[in-house]
Amino acid sequence: MVNALSLLERWTGKAAFLAEAGVPVDPTGAPLPPAPGTVPVKLPPADVLEARGRALITGNPVAVNALFVSGDGMERSTRPVRILKVVRAWNAYRQMLLFYGVKAIASYLSAYGIHYGYFAAQVPAKVSLGWVNMGGQLVPESKVDGLRASIRTGLIGSWAGIHEQYEIWWQAYPRDRAENAYAALRLVTGLETISPEKWNGLLDEALKIRAYIEEQVYITKKKDYTNAFRGITYRNDAERDAVLGKVEDNAFIKTAARESAAFREMVAAVRA
């Protein structure tokens, strides 16, 4: 998701830059490749494009919708690939990261009885978002690099030593995950330090996202009862209910409701 946000911003910034440079486009609006013998337009660095794209997405979504935002490298083909719902996708990824960040930190605070202010004061100034899947165990990339270095230098020279390192990683996982979540919230908010007041605001945002998830579960399952094409397999509503049960009794809907209730309870307990 972090990479997806960066790509959407970069591609949007690139599209805006090419449009302003007057690059010719085809009938679909896609920028044309440079004509033979012409000098290609020189693009700014990636970070500059991302900053421009982010400013457009957050400040002028109408302008973004009018751009031909190309998804570079998405196909093994020379045809242009257009990203249609850039702003909606960017906001969706941001919401996913926000929800992950809040939920992971809240779970950690709740499980260990830690106050938010105490936790936030101990988070390092720089926390990498890069993690590695080590055979099903997720580990911060810096720790994996450290293991490689220890193997190269002979500090760890046996499988037993490597397995011991895995156990150390596992013991540190809850804290590492909480710090990773804090880094995700830094990315989402653009703040290096998330104050208690801001944390409470993020909790409120996460509650709205959790309510939206529960609502979408209900809407999705209700389609089994309201979609005419799904209903043609039953003679009447009574027969459908005999097979599927009442929509309110659906196991997924009940699970979503229980998870929402538990989330609300946890949020209330970890406010700063």
39 with 98, same domain: the answer is no
Looking at the fold, whether 119 and 227 belong to one and the same domain comes out as: yes
- What is the number of alpha carbons within 13 Å of residue 248 lying toward its C-beta? 0
Q: Is residue 175 located within the same domain as residue 210?
A: yes
* pTM of this structure: 0.88
The pLDDT of residue 230 is above 90: no
* 167 part of a folded domain: yes
Both 145 and 77 in one domain: the answer is no
In a shared domain, residues 165 and 41: no
Residue 89, in any domain of the structure: no
Asked if 190 and 57 sit in the same domain, the reply is: no
231 pLDDT band (50/70/90 cuts)?
Answer: confident
Residue 125 confidence (pLDDT) above 90? yes
Q: What is the pLDDT of residue 143?
A: 95
Cα–Cα distance between 272 and 268 in angstroms, integer? 10
Q: Are residues 170 and 261 in the same domain?
A: yes
> pLDDT band at 212, cuts 50/70/90?
very high
On whether both 74 and 110 belong to a single domain, the answer is no
Residue where a domain terminates, one of 84, 114, 143: 84
Q: Are residues 113 and 151 in the same domain?
A: yes
Chain mean position to CA 114? 26
73 and 99 belong to one structural domain: no
Domain boundary, last residue among 53, 84, 115: 84
Instruction: With a cut of 90, say whether residue 79 has pLDDT above it.
Output: no
- The pLDDT assigned to 30 comes to 85
Rounded to the nearest integer, the mean pLDDT of the chain is: 93
Which helix (H) or strand (E) covers residue 134, if one does? strand 131-134
Domain count, the chain: 2
**Is pLDDT of 29 > 90?**
no
Full residue range of the structural domain in which residue 38 is found? 2-84
pLDDT tens profile 172-206 = 999 999 999 999 999 999 999 999 999 999 999 99
Two tokens, residue 222: 């209700």
Tell me how far CA of residue 77 lies from CA of 4, 8, 29, 72, 189, in angstroms.
21, 20, 18, 10, 36
